[in-house]
Structure 1
């Protein structure tokens, strides 16, 4: 029962991390405009994401534009796209494997395949969390290096956006969920030989044929009628005896 609760906890943590990873991938708030001057009142703010670039006006209007060319993007942005998409796909595979491998589902019940499936789901959640963590860490390093670059104009410097912080949180939750799933599945695999040994039926008693001799074959009463001695009252007619039909 405790392992089932741990599996459910790990699965829901991994699912929550997957949802956060998807939101962080779609949002454009990966880089936001850095306000370095004394005048903090600005009319516009610029934000850059993995798929689009947005402009926020002081009137509350958002204007976003998708990147038109994939090959024209810098290499770090292309790599970040690929890693985040791969993290989402790995999380989907982890959800499918975890649902099939958990004890509360009916798939392959009473089978030895469930624990390896749950373990593979936990490993996939760990891989998804690591991919997301690598992407947001890489982006954070690029933003910090560009911010402290003295040769870069102040208007081209950005700060870390909210989507990066969401990516850190999602990666941490996915890693925790994957570790919980792996821990619960490893405990089930270590206990399975003992359960199989206890569930084996006891050995059958020795056969009695070797102790007692076999009983004589049964012969019906009709086969023994002709062996008895006919009585004086028996009647014979045309060579047939009446006692054969009685």
Structure 2
């Protein structure tokens, strides 16, 4: 079983990854207006996220509007919503499982079960990290593709801060899960009972009958 220090580091990395995922889910900065080429109007900045689009004036005033319908949203945005929500749920549940099965807690008294619990938590954290990286990478690919498309000269977008936060959060979750998978191994010889075998000649007790 891994040391207590490694598990504490994994908990910290998992919490940071969960916070980053929540930021990506809530903050509408997946893509922002690009001021390149003929688009030099800097009086207002448009921002789009998973749930709403915002317009920030040069005076600092911000106006946001929720998307009208889920059915009119592009496929990458719909997938990003689902994957990010599932990632938040996975991260929270796996952190609770890890906390219960860690060596520095007494929630589970069975020492043989703790490595298995930590291993399950590590696999879940890795899956949560992958579920974050997939939507942000998909959205980043679409933004870069549209930016380099000469037919879309009226409105160009750039990568928002949530894309980079999502990459960082996914990396932290995968790192925490990988460390748990590496250090959460059952002890050799941790089985409950030990079988003893005797040979007929040497180990078996000799009994003399009269």
Q: Check the 8 A contact 1:31/1:159 in 2, yes or no.
A: yes
Structure 1 residue 42 displacement after superposition: 1.4
Query: What does residue 170 of structure 2 align with?
Result: 171
Which string of whole-angstrom CA distances, capped at 9 and with x for unpartnered residues, describes residues 76-101 of structure 1? 11011111111111111211110111
State the TM-score, normalizing by the size of structure 2: 0.86
In structure 1, distance between residues paired with 2:41 and 2:34: 12
Q: Which has the higher contact order (CA 8 A, sep 6+)?
A: 2
Residue 38 of structure 1, CA deviation: 6.7
Measured after TM superposition, the shift of residue 110 of structure 1 is 3.3
**Is there any run of 5+ residues in structure 2 with no aligned partner, and where?**
195-206
Task: Name the residue aligned to 1:77.
Answer: 77
Q: Sort the Cα spacing of 1:46 and 1:37 in 2 relative to 1 into closer, same or farther, 3 A.
A: same
Structure 1 7/192 Cα, relative in aligned 2: closer, same or farther at 3 Å? Answer: farther
Q: Is contact 2:10–2:176 with CA below 8 Å preserved after alignment?
A: yes
Q: Which runs of 4+ in 1 moved over 6 A?
A: 195-198
Q: Distance in 2 between matches of 1:156 and 1:138?
A: 19
CA RMSD, Structure 1 to Structure 2 (Å): 2.3
Q: Residue by residue, what CA displacement relative to the aligned partner does 1:17-46 show, whole Å, maximum 9, x if unpaired?
A: 111111111110101001113785611110
Residues 1:51 and 2:47 are matched in the alignment: no
Tell which structure's C-alpha radius of gyration is larger: 1
Does 2:150 correspond to 1:193? no
SS in 2 for 1:156: coil
What does the per-residue CA deviation read over 1:190-234, in whole Å, with 9 as the maximum and x for residues that have no partner? x24169689xxxxxxxxxxx99xxxxxxxxxxxxxxxxxxxxxxx
Asked if structure 1 preserves the Cα contact closer than 8 Å seen for 2:95 and 2:121, the reply is: yes
- What is the deviation of 1:181? 1.4
Task: Give the TM-score taking structure 1 as reference length.
Answer: 0.74
2:90 aligns with 90
The secondary structure found in structure 1 opposite 2:107 is: coil
3-state SS in 2 of match to 1:180: helix
Conserved? CA contact 1:21–1:167, under 8 Å: yes
Runs of 5+ consecutive residues of structure 1 not aligned to the other structure: 199-209, 212-246
Instruction: Work out whether residues 9 and 180 of structure 1, in 8 Å CA contact, stay in contact via their aligned partners in 2.
Output: no
The structure richer in helix per residue is 1
Q: Which structure 2 residues correspond to residues 1-246 of structure 1 after superposition, within 5 A?
A: 3-37=3-37, 40=40, 42-153=42-153, 155-186=154-185, 189=186, 191-193=187-189
Task: Please report how far the alpha carbon of residue 70 of structure 1 lies from its aligned counterpart in structure 2 after TM superposition.
Answer: 1.0
Q: Shift of residue 152 of structure 1? A: 1.1
How many pairs were matched up? 197
Aligned equivalents of 1:125, 1:2: Cα separation in 2: 17
